[in-house]
Structure 1
Amino acid sequence: MRYDLYLCLFLCAYTAECARILGVFPVLSISHQIIFQPIWKELSSRGHNVTVITPNPLNDVFSPNLTEIDVSSSAKRCVDNTDIIKKLDTTQSLFAKIMFSYHFLDYLITKELEQEEVSRLINSSETFDLILLQVIGIQPLVFGFGGKYRSPIIGISTLQVFLHTHDTLGNPTHALVTPDVMLGFEGDLTFANKVESLLFNIWYRMLYYWYALPSADKVARKYFGEDIPYLGDIERNTSLLLVNSNPIMHGVRPNVPNVIEINQIHIKKKKPLPEDIRKYLDSSPQGIVYFSLGSNVKSANLTESTRNVIIQAMAELPYKVIWKWETDYLPGKPDNVMIRKWLPQQDVLGHPHIKVFVTQGGMQSIEESITNGVPMVGLPFITDQPTNVRRFTELEMGLGLDYRTMNKEQLRDAIIEVAENKKYKDQVNKSKMILADQPMKGIEKAVWWIEYVLRHKGAKHLRSAAADMSFYEYFMIDVICFLFVCISLSIYATVKLCCLIVWLARKPRSKVKSN
C-alpha cells in the first residue's frame, strides 16, 4: 500500500510539471524544419502535451503527447504560386529581397491561419503554458499567437536573426562589430562596408518599426482579435531566443543571457545505408563525389545551361558521383553518375569513400559535412548561402563558385582540387574537433532552456535593460542632441562674449584718438 502511495505521489508530481506547449513553425522547408522537429519530439517524450502547426509533420505514432496540425497544403500552394526560389535568386536589390520576403511570408502565414484546423484552434478555449515560435526574417505575424494565449514566448531561428529581433531582447547590434546577416559582411570591413552597414542599421529599423510592424499588427488583429496587445509589445515579451549557430561558421558576437546558441541539433546517429547505395559507395575506393542542392533549391529545377555545365564536369571527374536528382530521368547522365530522388544525406556523408560534398551552402548541410569530415565545393543560390560558402572558403574547408558564370573546367578543377589537396580535409577535421567539443548536445541544451522558462513562468530576470529602451534611448540620440545643443550654446556664448570684450577694448581708444 505504501509503494502504491509513493507511486501515486510521483505521478501527480510528474503530471504537475508537464506543460501544454504550442509550437508554430510555418515555413515549408524541411532543411529548416529538421531543426524544430527534434525539439517538439523530445518535449512530447518528456510528458509535455505539445501541439505543433507545421507544413512538415513527423506523423510519429510513438509520440502520443504530440498533436500536429498539418498546413502543408496551404504552404505548398503559396510556394508554387509565388515561385519563391526563383524570385529570391534573380532579385538583386537588397531592398527588393527584403520586401519580397516580407510580403511572401505575410501571404504564407495568413493562408495557414485561414486553414480550418488552425482557425478552429485560435477560436477555441485552448490554453497553453508556453509558445514556441519560428522567428522568420522581417515578418512578425506569428507573434499574434503570443497575444492570443498571453503565455511566455520562446523564439527559435535556424539562421542568424535580423536587427529587430536583437532589439527585442536588447542584444548588441554594433554596425561595425556585428553587421546584419543580410549584408553578408565577414572579417575586416572596408570603409565602404562600414558606411553601408551604418546606413542599413538606420534604414532597416525605419522600415521595420514604421512599416512592417504596424502592417503586420493590422493583419494580426483580423485573425487573433482586436483585444490582443500591439504586436511590437507581444514581440518584446519574448523570454528566450534559441539561435542555430556555431563557432565555426559564425563570427563571435556578444549575446545577452537570454540568447542561447544551439547547433548540431539535427545530427543523428548513423544508420545503415540502403543496400544499392551502400554497394555503390563500397565499390568506389577511388572516391565518391556527393552532389546535392538541398530541399529548397532542387537540381531538377536548374536551367538547361547550368545543368549541362554540371553534367559535363561530372563526366570528366576521375571519381564516381552520387547526385540527388528529384526526377526519374537525368538527360545526358554520365556513366559515372548515380541519381536518386532522395538520399539519407548524413549517412552518405559518413561513408569513408566520400571525398567532396558539392552543396548549395545551407547551414544544416555544412554542419553535416563538418561533422563527417568532408570538404566542400559550394554553389550558393539564396538567403544565407553566399555568406556561408564565402565563410568556409576563407577557412579553407572548400571552394566556392558562382553557378551563373562557372564553366565545366572551373567546376571540375574545383572538385579535384578539394578532393586531392590535403589542406581542405585537414581544415574540416580541425573544425570538426571544435564543433564536437561542447558540454552537451544541441537538443539537450535547447530542451533544458525551454523547460527553464517553463519552471520560472518566463525569464524576466534574464532580460536586458536595453530591451525596454527605445531606439533613440539605446543609442543615446537624445543625450547626444542635448550635449550638442549645450556645446553649441556654449560656443555661441563664448564667441559673443569675446566679441563684446573686443568691442569694449576698442571703444576707449577710439575716444582718446578723437579728442
Structure 2
Amino acid sequence: MKCLFVFCFVLFSARIAVGVNILAVFFTPLDSYQKVFRPLWVELSLRGHNVTVITTDPVKNESLVNLTEIDVSYSCYRISDELALPNDNLRPEERVKLNVFGMSLPAFEAQVQHHQIQDLLRDSSNRFDLVVMEMTSSPYYGFAYLFDVPWVGVLPHSTTLASDRDVGNLRHPLLFPDPTVKSYTGRNIWMRLYLALAQLRLIYSYDYEIMPELDRIARKYFGDDMPYLGDIEKNVSIILTTHNFITSKPKPTVPALIEIGNVHLKKNVKLPQDLQKELDKATNGVIYFSLGSNVKSANISSQLRNVIISSFAELPYTILWKWETDHLPGKPDNVITRKWLPQEAVLAHPNVKAFITQGGLQSMEEAIYYRKPLIGMPFFADQMKNVRSIAEHGIGVALNTDTLTKEKLKSAILEVVNDKKYKEKISELSDLMWDQPMSGLDTAIWWIEYVIRHKGAKHLRSPLLDLPLYQYLLLDVLAFVFGVIATTLGLLYAAYIYTKPVIQGVVGKNKVKSN
C-alpha cells in the first residue's frame, strides 16, 4: 500500500512538473491559418497543459477541460472578407504592408477590446510559463514581454525574410527569395539585380516602416516600458514552420527553425451521405475544384468564371465545385456545387481523379497524402511558388489565370487525368513525405515542451544575431585588405615620384659617359 502511495505521489508530482500554463495567440481570421494552428492547442491541452488560446476559430469542445478559448471571431472575418486580393503587380514590400496594415493591425485593434483580453492585459495575477504565437507581424508579440516568458513562433507556411532574420538564418536573395517576391525562370544579370533590390526594399520597409508602426500600437496596450517590439520578435526561442521539400526547395537552416509539415491532416473524415451517393455514382470520374478559404470562387471575375464553366461543360467527368453562394450562373449539368466541403473526405474518395487548386500549402499537402494529381490555378502570395512546384515535381500542371482559355483548362484536366505519369509521381512523393521519424504534430509538441523544460532555447540562438551586418559580409576585412593594397601602391608611387629625378639624373650621366 505504501509503495502504491509513493508511486501515485511521484506520478502526480511529475504531472504538475510537466503541466504548465500556456497562452496561445492565433489571431489571423483565415481558415487556412487556423486549421494548421488548431491541432497544436488541442494537443497541448490533452497533454495536461492549461492552455488559454486567443482564436478566431474555437473548437468549443467541452471535454477539453484544460482549454480556455477566447473567441475573437465576432468582428474579424469581416476584415478578411473585405480585404481585396493583392494585385499581382504590387511590389513585394507593398504586399507585406497590405497584409500587415490591411489585416493584422485591424484584427488586433478589434480583438484587443475583448473583455477577456483586457483582463489578460490588466490583471497582474495572470501567470503563464510560455507564449505560443503565430508569427504574423503583430503587436501581440508584447505578451511575451508582459508575462516575461519565452515564446514560440508558428508559421502556417514556409519561412519569410523577416522570420529567417529573427533567428539569424539569412536567406540568399537569388536562391531563396521571399515568398512575396516574383521568382522568374532564368538568372540573367537583370533578374539577379531585381531579386537583390527586392530583398533590400523588403528589409528597409520592415525595419523602418512596418515594425515602428507595430511598436507604436503595442505600446498603447503593453506600456511604454516595453522593449522595442522588433527586439521582442527577435527573442523568439524557436519557429515551427510548415515548410517541406516539395513546396519549398531544401535550404540550410539554423537549429531554431523546425519543420512540422502535415500538422492539420485529420484523416478518416466522413462525407455527408448525400455527397457520398453523388461521388459513388460518378464512375466516370470526379474533378474536385476548390480555391480554398482565402480565394472564393464566387469572387472571381465573370470572364474567368465563364472560361471555367465552358470548359467544365465539355468534360466527360462530374465536377465538384466549392461555390460559396446559392446560385452558380450558367451551371452545367455535370457540375455539383456546395458552399463548404470536407476536403480531406472528398480527396479520399476513389472516384476523384484530379484536384484543381489555387495552390494553398495545406491543400497541396492533402492532395499529396491522398495521391490526387493537381491542376494549379494561383492568384497571389505563395500560391505562385507552390503552383510552380507542382509542375517542377511533375505532380500536375500549372495554369495562369490571366491567360487561361477554355481549351487550355480542358486540355490540362484531360492530360492530368489520362496520363499515368502524374499519378505515379504524386504517389512517389507521398511515400517520401510520409517517411518521417515523427509526425508533424508530435514534432511540434516535442519542441514546444522542450522550450518549456529549458525555460527558453537561447542555446539555439544563432551567433549571427549578435554580429553586425558589415562584419557578416566581411566589409571591414575587405576594407582593410583594400586599404593595405592602396597604401602600398600609394607609397610605391610616392617613392617613384620622389626618386624619379635622381634616377633620371643617374641615367642621363651614364648616357653621356657612354657617348
- Which residue matches 2:429? 431
- 1:45-444 → structure 2 map (5 Å cutoff): 45-80=46-81, 83-86=82-85, 88-89=86-87, 91-104=89-102, 105-125=104-124, 126-136=126-136, 139-185=137-183, 189-444=187-442
Instruction: Please say if residues 179 and 381 of structure 2, whose CA atoms lie closer than 8 Å, have aligned partners that are also in contact.
Output: no
3-state DSSP of counterpart to 2:180: helix
Measure the CA separation in 1 of the matches of 2:491 and 2:214.
49
3-state DSSP of counterpart to 1:183: coil
- Which residue matches 1:30? 31
Which deviates more, 466-475 or 30-39?
466-475
CA deviation map 1:379-427 (0-9, x unaligned):
1111100111011112111112122321212111111111111111111
The two structures, once aligned, show a CA RMSD in angstroms of 2.0
CA deviation map 1:185-209 (0-9, x unaligned):
3776333332222223333222222
Which deviates more, 493-502 or 445-454?
493-502
Measure the CA separation in 2 of the matches of 1:501 and 1:201.
51
AA partner of residue 490 (structure 1): T
Measure the CA separation in 2 of the matches of 1:21 and 1:51.
6
CA deviation map 1:242-281 (0-9, x unaligned):
1101121211100111110110111122133211111111
CA deviation map 1:137-182 (0-9, x unaligned):
xx35332121211111111101122223212211132233333222
CA deviation map 1:266-321 (0-9, x unaligned):
11221332111111111112110001010111111122222111111111111011
- Which residue matches 2:484? 486
Pick from 499, 502, 511: which aligns with 1:501?
Answer: 499
AA partner of residue 120 (structure 1): D
Measure the CA separation in 2 of the matches of 1:44 and 1:202.
42
Measure the CA separation in 2 of the matches of 1:266 and 1:95.
29
Which deviates more, 418-427 or 357-366?
418-427
3-state DSSP of counterpart to 1:279: helix
Which deviates more, 442-451 or 274-283?
274-283
- Which residue matches 1:17? 18
User: CA 1:206–1:240 in 2, change beyond 3 Å: closer, same or farther?
Assistant: same
3-state DSSP of counterpart to 2:216: helix
Shift, 1:68, TM fit: 1.1
Shift, 1:96, TM fit: 2.5
Measure the CA separation in 1 of the matches of 2:495 and 2:206.
47
Give the TM-score normalised by structure 2.
0.94
Shift, 1:58, TM fit: 1.3
Measure the CA separation in 2 of the matches of 1:231 and 1:124.
22
Instruction: Please say if residues 186 and 391 of structure 1, whose CA atoms lie closer than 8 Å, have aligned partners that are also in contact.
Output: no
User: CA 1:213–1:392 in 2, change beyond 3 Å: closer, same or farther?
Assistant: same
Instruction: Please say if residues 172 and 254 of structure 1, whose CA atoms lie closer than 8 Å, have aligned partners that are also in contact.
Output: no
Instruction: Please say if residues 93 and 202 of structure 2, whose CA atoms lie closer than 8 Å, have aligned partners that are also in contact.
Output: no
Measure the CA separation in 1 of the matches of 2:200 and 2:470.
11
Instruction: Please say if residues 91 and 97 of structure 1, whose CA atoms lie closer than 8 Å, have aligned partners that are also in contact.
Output: no
The structure 1 segments of at least 4 consecutive aligned residues displaced by more than 6 Å after TM superposition are 511-515
Identity across matched positions, percent: 40
Shift, 1:510, TM fit: 5.6
Measure the CA separation in 1 of the matches of 2:31 and 2:181.
25
Shift, 1:470, TM fit: 2.8
Measure the CA separation in 1 of the matches of 2:25 and 2:288.
33
Measure the CA separation in 1 of the matches of 2:94 and 2:204.
16
Which deviates more, 288-297 or 484-493?
484-493
User: CA 1:304–1:179 in 2, change beyond 3 Å: closer, same or farther?
Assistant: closer
3-state DSSP of counterpart to 1:133: strand
CA deviation map 1:438-462 (0-9, x unaligned):
1111100000010011011111122
Instruction: Please say if residues 74 and 115 of structure 1, whose CA atoms lie closer than 8 Å, have aligned partners that are also in contact.
Output: no
Which deviates more, 233-242 or 505-514?
505-514
AA partner of residue 128 (structure 2): F
Give the TM-score normalised by structure 1.
0.94
Which deviates more, 363-372 or 322-331?
322-331
Which deviates more, 127-136 or 476-485?
476-485
Measure the CA separation in 2 of the matches of 1:118 and 1:91.
38
Instruction: Please say if residues 291 and 359 of structure 1, whose CA atoms lie closer than 8 Å, have aligned partners that are also in contact.
Output: yes
Measure the CA separation in 1 of the matches of 2:285 and 2:441.
33
Shift, 1:509, TM fit: 4.6
Shift, 1:474, TM fit: 2.4
- Which residue matches 1:450? 448
3-state DSSP of counterpart to 1:296: coil
3-state DSSP of counterpart to 2:75: helix
Number of matched pairs: 510
User: CA 1:431–1:186 in 2, change beyond 3 Å: closer, same or farther?
Assistant: farther
Measure the CA separation in 2 of the matches of 1:306 and 1:365.
21
- Which runs of 5 or more structure 2 residues have no equivalent in the other structure? none
Instruction: Please say if residues 25 and 132 of structure 2, whose CA atoms lie closer than 8 Å, have aligned partners that are also in contact.
Output: yes
Shift, 1:114, TM fit: 2.9
Shift, 1:511, TM fit: 7.5
User: CA 1:23–1:294 in 2, change beyond 3 Å: closer, same or farther?
Assistant: same
- Which residue matches 1:476? 474
User: CA 1:141–1:481 in 2, change beyond 3 Å: closer, same or farther?
Assistant: farther
Measure the CA separation in 2 of the matches of 1:359 and 1:375.
10
Measure the CA separation in 1 of the matches of 2:470 and 2:214.
23
3-state DSSP of counterpart to 1:260: strand
